[in-house]
Chain A
Amino acid sequence: MKYMMFVVVDPDAAAEAEPSEDDLTIDQWLADVDGRGKRITGDALRPVSDATTVRVSRGQVVVTDGPFTESKEWIAGFDILECDNLDEAIAIAARHPQANGGKLELRPFRTDED
């Protein structure tokens, strides 16, 4: 099963996060997940201040700065995981450095059966 894992930064949660000795660095996390062949690809994204929103209204392309959201949360990156099941994906997400202070959202890919 393929999962898109969004890496979400939450400034409020980050302020309350308590670092733990068990926390992995991103390099350690990547080495573990890639070493087990569980990650198809992934990358980090620039913040929303560099984002551009595009939509079409009455035939006109409307381009604006940033995303349309009130939320302070933003997607800082993504990884595409290939896992046996959701529990395996949850375990991988729970070890990601952003799990403590941010959050990970796991979305299964649509399949042909859908």
Chain B
Amino acid sequence: MTTHAHRTTAEAIISAVAAERTGMVASLIRLTGDWDLAEDCVQDAVERALMRWPHDGMPRSPAAWLTTVARNRALDLLRRSQTERAKLQQRAITDEMAPSRALETDAQSDDRLRLIFTCCHPALALEGRVALTLKTVAGLSTAEIARAFLVSEPTMSQRLLRTKQKISNAAIPYRVPPDELLAERISGVLVVLYLIFNEGYGQHEDHLAVEALQLARLLVDLMPGEDEARGLLALITFQMSRRSTRFDAHGDLVPMEEQDRSRWDTALMEAGHRQLRHAARSGRPPGPYRLQAQIAACHATAAAAEATAWGTIVALYDALLAAQPSPVIALNRAIAVGFRDGYEAGLAELDALDATALAGYYLLPSARADFLRRLGRTDEAQRAYLAAIHLAPAGQPERRLLQRRLTEL
């Protein structure tokens, strides 16, 4: 009983801290312009909370407690420095702490948006945007991010440092972009979040996919009117609804048609549909993320693989190609045509694709191999599987699936 109560408290503390962390870091960056100082002071406040609260109990307002501790810590550190800049930074913090400027929820969400848009600024290298978003918005440690991207911790630490330095040296503004820039900058944020998702989703250990889901939820909370942000959230939600069936006990990929649909997460699927309905209320024609989410919704609602609405999916791919021409989308459309009109038709569509644009991409030979296998053209399928295996990333689940198919021929 006691142990249980204790654990609930610890969980409550951790979730209270997690809920406040991003906003606190974001507002300290706004006040001081110093990313390292902000992260260190918030980390310090979090550690104190984890030490004190289990004994003293949770404060009435965890947010206010944490904010005060973090800001006082920042003031302490800044007092040690005699520079003009440090004095300005102290002034900014004390002004903000004045009773007339009590913690406002709106101001906090604005700070988190400022943080997200700054981390995803197009003048930063893409890998830097991804790393900084995971570090400051999602609150991952440098070691965790380094592991996720298979680089050493010093390398990741250097990448984060360079990114923060560029923000300061090039004077990238810490703000929510003005209206005329907003659309293009939001799509830049969505690119970063989707990249984080895909980095995690391809793996059996999908921590980054879970982080991306939470980041997408945060963005939708902060910008409820952005239909493409909802589209991305819906897309990620539908894909996550299948996560428990995507890999077998050995960590090998299970193709969608072989997945146990009864184990798909219906609550997540319903959440995905809800986001899509909400996005549709914007009245705007669906953009690339909403269209991809609608495709994912078609798969989610099919009672069996054979019952998939391939006609609808092909039409959605047509719209997606018009909105965002890309050889990979054209490839996926060709595959969908094969399931709608028959595998011969699918092969013809694959042959009509721009092979130069897809050169070196394993999914083209792998799609050919799949249709040839279904048509019983074993020799040709074998050659196509070998070509696909040759191009597939070494040691990855996709490659093992292709090898399994080859041996099953």
Contact = CB atoms under 8 A, between A and B. Distances in A.
Query: Does B bind A?
Result: yes
Interface in B151-202: 169-173, 177, 181
A87 B176 CA distance: 11
Interface string A88-110: 00100000000000000010100
B177 A108 contact: no
Nearest to B171: A1
A85 B172 contact: yes
A86 B177 contact: no
A85 B171 contact: yes
Contacts of B181: 87
A87 B173 contact: yes
Interface string A78-90: 0000011111001
A114 B173 CA distance: 19
A84 B170 contact: no
Interface in A18-68: none
A69 to B, nearest CB: 23
Interface residues of B, number: 10
Contacts of A84: 171, 173
Interface residues of A, number: 11
B37 to A, nearest CB: 15
B43 to A, nearest CB: 25
Contact of A108 (B85, B121, B169, B173): B169
B256 interface: no
A113 B172 CA distance: 17
Contacts of A114: 169
B56 to A, nearest CB: 41
A83 B169 CA distance: 13
B123 interface: yes
Contacts of B123: 86, 90
A55 to B, nearest CB: 28
A27 to B, nearest CB: 24
A97 to B, nearest CB: 20
B295 to A, nearest CB: 32
Contacts of B177: 87
A95 to B, nearest CB: 13
A50 B116 CA distance: 47
Interface string B68-79: 000000000000
Contacts of B171: 1, 83-86, 108
A1 B173 CA distance: 11
Interface of B: 85, 121, 123, 169-173, 177, 181
22 contacts: A1-B170, A1-B171, A83-B171, A84-B171, A84-B173, A85-B171, A85-B172, A85-B173, A86-B121, A86-B123, A86-B171, A86-B173, A87-B173, A87-B177, A87-B181, A90-B123, A106-B170, A108-B169, A108-B170, A108-B171, A113-B85, A114-B169
Interface of A: 1, 83-87, 90, 106, 108, 113-114
Given A86-B123, A108-B169, 6 more contacts: A1-B170, A1-B171, A83-B171, A84-B173, A106-B170, A114-B169
